[in-house]
Amino acid sequence: MTKLVIISDSHNNHAMVERVLAAEKKANALIYLGDGLADMERALMFHPRMRVYAVAGNCDFGALEPQDGLAAFDKVIVYYTHGHNHGVKYSLDRIAAHGKARGAELVLFGHTHIPVSEVVDGVHLFNPGSCGRSHNGCNTYGVITLHEGQIVSAEHKPVPLV
């Protein structure tokens, strides 16, 4: 079993990222989807052994991180990006096609600040929402569990209050 913590859009709210990482200490990896890379870096001071995959978002000015990434976890190919270059505020078809063209079974994205978990054209799309500036009232992050090439669970969780 592989447990991935998915965070996006903290927007200068490092305390929220720290709360998520404290709650998910047993995760195998963190995938940070942009717009608050400095928050992630600050929170990682308390979790130096956490394996991290990160991309820059449209508000991460001057960041050296890439715009997207492709990785395999527990035999599942994962494409991850912030989402602003794929028109995710208007439709999920483009990002689904982009991930599928790269052989991904799971596509992770942020940018909209709204949690999503749905399958489009055979690709599981997952947006954790925003851990620092939610548009639906609750700051959220994601936890995805993988096992032997299967997505066992993909859940949205509220950021812990303390």
- pLDDT value of residue 47: 87
Instruction: Summarize pLDDT for 57-93 with one digit per residue, the tens.
Output: 999 998 899 999 999 999 999 999 999 999 999 999 9
Q: Report residue 137's pLDDT band, with 50, 70 and 90 as the boundaries.
A: confident
Q: What predicted TM-score, i.e. pTM, was given to this entire model?
A: 0.95
Q: Are 101 and 81 in contact (CB under 8 A)?
A: no
Q: Domains in the chain, please, with CATH? A: 2-158 (3.60.21.10)
Query: In Å, how far are 38, 64, 106 from 121, measured between CA atoms?
Result: 34, 32, 11
